[in-house]
Amino acid sequence: MIIKKKKNSGKLLGLERLFQRLPDHHPRYLSIENALKATRAGENGERLLAEVFHKYQFPFEHYIFHDLHLRSTGRFQIDTLFLCKQGVVILEMKNIAGRISFPADQNQIIRTLDNGQTDSFECPSIQLNRNQILLEDWFYARNMSIPILKAVVFPRPQQQFENTRTNLTILFPLEIPVFLRNIGEQSPTLDDTQLRSIATALMESHRDYNPFPLSSNYNISPNELKTGVRCGQCGLFGMQSIHKGWGCNQCGYTDQYGHIPGMLDFFMLVNNRISNKECRHFLQLQSHQKANRILKQLEIPSQGEKKGRVYIAGLKEIESLSKRAAEYESKVPIW
């Protein structure tokens, strides 16, 4: 039973929007582009991992948690956690293309692409061991002690490996069901009540990851970002405020709701609190009244009165605004 599904990645969406607003001459431009590529690859891999459990059924009681965020002696995230009466299994996806080698004297893996380019990454065993220790601490704090198994998943069956480590279990997606079924055939360590109690405790302990605002996380000053409303048709920033929305001086496109993605960008990239003055600056807007209407229409909590009023967007409000922005952007005509 899947009791925690994989959600859309707020971090990926935020990085995409950060990349759009970062000038191409910015010194962090290349590093943000690489972070975006790595995050996108990771998300694609985690979705592939989640699809395995949508396609396969197990003949014993179990609980599945995708993208589980917990805290014990430290915060940690698990791509997929599989819970059954025999214990728990930590599965971490690594969507890394190329030939992978495991140097014996380093806690790294080396990836070699067909063009000869080499890159180094933290060895998956480090992350797996770290998550195992933190999960053990989570169980210990609740007077529980159950077996914890772990494996790393690579998405491509044709992937080549060199010098693999004997203490690291490597799986491909189609191997996961057999691996877990073999575990389910072993002697149980939990009864029905304990199993369901642990599943409930895990779900109650999960806290959605909030990566915002991204600019500070990547050491980028908000003043270095492009401001203005982005044209949904030609991509130019700086649409002009018109009577019923926004107009693009470059392509002539008019837009009633162009400020919605702009406000999402502010909360994802700059700050979770915004004043009328900050709204006008970020949208390149002159009208105090129009900025006031825009902020009220966001339907998010506010604090203070008159000129001291600020609007505050927590993760829940950002997710809601993201859905509104996605709905709006899907309706923009394509040339």
Which CATH number do you get for residue 188?
A: 3.40.91
CA–CA gap between residue 124 and residue 160 (Å, rounded): 16
Q: Is residue 278 part of a domain?
A: yes
Which CATH number do you get for residue 234?
A: 1.10.10.10
What are the φ/ψ torsions at residue 180 (nearest 5 degrees)? Answer: -75, -35
Per-residue model confidence as pLDDT tens digits over 202-225: 999 999 999 999 999 999 999 999
- What is the domain count for the chain? 2
pLDDT at 247: 96
Q: Is residue 305 part of a domain?
A: yes
The token duo for 239 is 């649409």
CA–CA gap between residue 196 and residue 205 (Å, rounded): 14
Q: Is residue 90 part of a domain?
A: yes
Across the chain, what does the average pLDDT equal? 94
Same domain, residue pair 239 and 195: no
Per-residue model confidence as pLDDT tens digits over 174-196: 999 999 999 999 999 999 999 99
Same domain, residue pair 182 and 247: no
Same domain, residue pair 240 and 182: no
- For helices 10-21 and 315-330, give the axis angle rounded to 10 degrees: 60
Same domain, residue pair 274 and 165: no
Same domain, residue pair 51 and 171: yes
Same domain, residue pair 121 and 36: yes
Res 168 pLDDT > 60: yes
Q: Which stretches of the chain are DSSP H helices?
A: 10-21, 29-55, 124-140, 176-184, 192-205, 214-217, 259-269, 276-283, 288-297, 315-330
Same domain, residue pair 179 and 268: no
Same domain, residue pair 136 and 170: yes
CA–CA gap between residue 280 and residue 229 (Å, rounded): 11
pLDDT at 244: 84
CA–CA gap between residue 312 and residue 318 (Å, rounded): 10
Residue 8, by phi and psi: left (phi above 0), alpha (psi -120 to 50) or beta? beta
Task: For the chain, report the end-to-end CA distance as a whole number of angstroms.
Answer: 44
Res 334 pLDDT > 60: no
**Cross-sheet strand order for the sheet of 87-93:** 2-4, 62-71, 75-84, 87-93, 148-153, 170-171
Per-residue model confidence as pLDDT tens digits over 221-264: 999 999 999 999 999 999 999 988 999 999 999 999 999 999 99
Residue 256 domain boundaries: 226-330
